[in-house]
Amino acid sequence: MGERTYLKWYNKVGYGSGDIAGNVVYAFLSSFVMIYLTNSVGLSAGIVGTLIAASKLFDGITDVFFGAMIDKTRSRLGRARPWMLYGYIGCAVTLVAIFAIPADLTKTAQYAWFFIAYTLLNAVFYTANNIAYSALTSLCTTNSKERVQMGSFRFIFAFATSLLIQSITVGFVDRCGGGADAWRMVAIVYAVIGLIVNTVSCLSVKELSEEELMMTAEQEKEEEEKYGLLEAGKLLIPNRFYLMICGVYILQQLYGAMVNAGIYYMTYVLKNKNLYGVFSWAVNIPLIIALILTPALVGKWNGLYKLNLRGYMLAVIGRLFVVGAAYIGSVPLMLLFTAVAAFGQGPWQGDMNAVIASCSEYTFLTKGKRVDGTMYSCTSLGTKLGGGLGTAISGWLLEISGFSGTLDIQPDSCIYMLKFMYLWLPLVLNFMIMLILSRMNVEGANAKIREEKGI
């Protein structure tokens, strides 16, 4: 007898559309906040980078806090949906606030305005909304296939939204007149779109009753032991695969920050800021294609290890040729090999949750205890820290290079730095990820343990 089904196709699509709302915030912020602050507001890239790094320190606290609050919530809408629904209101308000820094404030007040709005957005409202959104996967169905399908729709909507935001924003700002006022108008439009889509997504599914969730849990497995954060950490730290995953997540976010700095590279090196949107197509379309192909490739290569390693070998080769194409001055070749690199990175994007599950199984096989939720939370924390550190490093490197948003022509030291940031650093980061993945055969380790134990 098969698993009971809970969702119709429109429930899954509706749920997945929530990542449109999430990436209206995340893609817009990560791709364009720095150039808005430096070129339209006139703030220092180095100081902004430091403020972003400091802001990310709060994320670790709020991840755990909101996770616990969602577990304790009981309402007419359920546990997670209230946080998803109302948390996004704060996201919309603070997103607009970040891109609406008053010009008549002193520089100190402008830095303070940005820091407060950015911290509230990331550490409070976006965290509450995103953790609740993720939790819905397990609260509205107990069917494993439906959960996988919900996750697939999420990824497709996420990549598609990132592509759209990165493609149209520069032209959208120009059509609104350019400058700080235009950025504020664009932020308002994105915030309204996000509010509408988030509300639709939230109301597209219903959470199961506590009784049904508890009954299913009892049928599927024995009740999990409860551990404090400190004890869970002691279980996770000896798991080398967990540490590898965290390392890959951090390096991925650093990579993303350097690629997002491409807006500066296109503006001052290639002399065409609109190319940033074109390169976004070369990144996101191959990622979506790879995501669709990943399940079949996992079956063909009998697991995740070979697929992820070979994918990143391709990504390293692709970025190496991007460097070569840049130095011979061929934008078409840069686009081609950017797409090759992105396609190689795609399998890991599609199967990383499965790798995390295998990593959690390794802890269970070696320690006899499960800490699945804490493992997910800590990996999420690694992603946020990596993203914050990556944006901060971008700001610091720009500051060191002598960059000034008030100059139409940047000094040679800045041009050299932009080439280092956009061409060489992504190559190095991809190579480091490939090395880690070459050691991350967690499936093989689990199989060996099960064989030794006769499981």
Find the helix or strand (DSSP H, E) in which 104 lies: none
The pLDDT, as a whole number, for residue 219 is 46
**Between 311 and 293, residue with greater pLDDT:** 311
Closest by CA to 120, choosing from 78, 158, 92, 151, is 92
Torsion angle (degrees, nearest 10) of CA 134, 139, 140, 145: 70
Average pLDDT over residues 390-406: 91
Residue 396: its pLDDT value, please? Answer: 94
Identify the three-state secondary structure at position 79.
coil
Q: Look at residue 383 in the predicted model and tell me its pLDDT.
A: 66
- Taking the alpha carbons at both ends of the chain, their separation in whole angstroms is 24
Q: What percent of the chain has pLDDT over 70?
A: 86
CA distance 331 to 279: 10
Residue 273, helix vs strand vs coil: coil
Summarize pLDDT for 62-92 with one digit per residue, the tens.
776 776 677 677 788 888 889 999 999 999 9
pLDDT given for residue 233 in this prediction = 67
CA atoms of 429 and 258, how far apart (whole Å): 10
Q: Between 50 and 216, where is the model more confident?
A: 50
From CA 15, how far away is CA 134, in angstroms rounded? 10
pLDDT-derived band at 223 (thresholds 50, 70, 90) equals very low
Q: Which of 352, 354, 362 is nearest to 239 (CA)?
A: 362
> Is residue 66 exposed (0-12), middle (13-18) or buried (19+ Cβ within 10 Å)?
buried
Residue (of 119, 59, 121) closest to 87 by Cα position = 121
Q: Give per-residue pLDDT as tens, 326-385.
A: 999 999 999 999 999 999 998 888 777 677 777 877 887 887 776 655 665 555 666 677
pLDDT tens digit sequence for 410-420: 999 999 999 99
C-alpha 267: how far from chain center: 25
pLDDT band at 442 (very low <50, low <70, confident <90, very high): confident
The whole-angstrom separation of Cα 386 and Cα 398 is 18
Model pLDDT for residues 102-146, shown as the tens digit of each residue? 999 999 999 999 999 999 998 889 888 888 887 777 777 766 666
CA separation for the pair 18, 154 (Å, rounded): 7
- Rg for the chain, CA atoms, rounded: 22
From residue 390, alpha-carbon distances to 71, 185, 395 in Å are 31, 27, 9
pLDDT, position 253: 86
Which of 53, 417, 46, 26 minimizes the C-alpha distance to 256? 26
User: Number of H helices and number of E strands within the chain?
Assistant: 19, 0
Assign 217 a pLDDT band (cuts: 50, 70, 90): very low
183 vs 210, more confident:
183
DSSP-derived secondary structure letter, 1? -
Per-residue pLDDT of 226-246, as tens digits, reads 555 566 667 777 888 888 988
Find the mean pLDDT for residues 378-403: 82
Q: What is the mean pLDDT of residues 203-224?
A: 61
pLDDT per residue as tens digits for the range 11-45: 888 888 888 999 899 889 988 999 999 999 999 99
pLDDT over 80 at 200, yes or no: yes
Which range, of 97-101, 255-259, 303-307, averages the lowest pLDDT? 303-307
What pLDDT is stored for residue 342 in this prediction? 95
Q: In the chain, helix, strand, coil percent, each to 5?
A: 80, 0, 20
Distance of alpha carbon 290 from alpha carbon 297, whole angstroms = 9
Between CA 385 and CA 389, with CA 387 as vertex, the angle to 5 degrees is 65
CA angle 390, 148, 315 (to 5 degrees): 40
* Alpha carbon distance 345, 286 (integer Å): 9
pLDDT at 352: 74
Q: What average pLDDT does this structure show over 248-262?
A: 89
Neighbour-count burial of 383, counting CB atoms closer than 10 A to its CB (0-12 exposed, 13-18 middle, 19+ buried):
middle
Report CA 100 to chain centroid distance, whole Å: 24
DSSP summary character for residue 39: I
Kindly tell me if the per-residue pLDDT of 431 is higher than 90.
yes
pLDDT, mean over the chain: 85
pTM to 2 decimal places? 0.80
Angle at 394 (CA atoms; ends 393, 398), nearest 5 degrees: 115
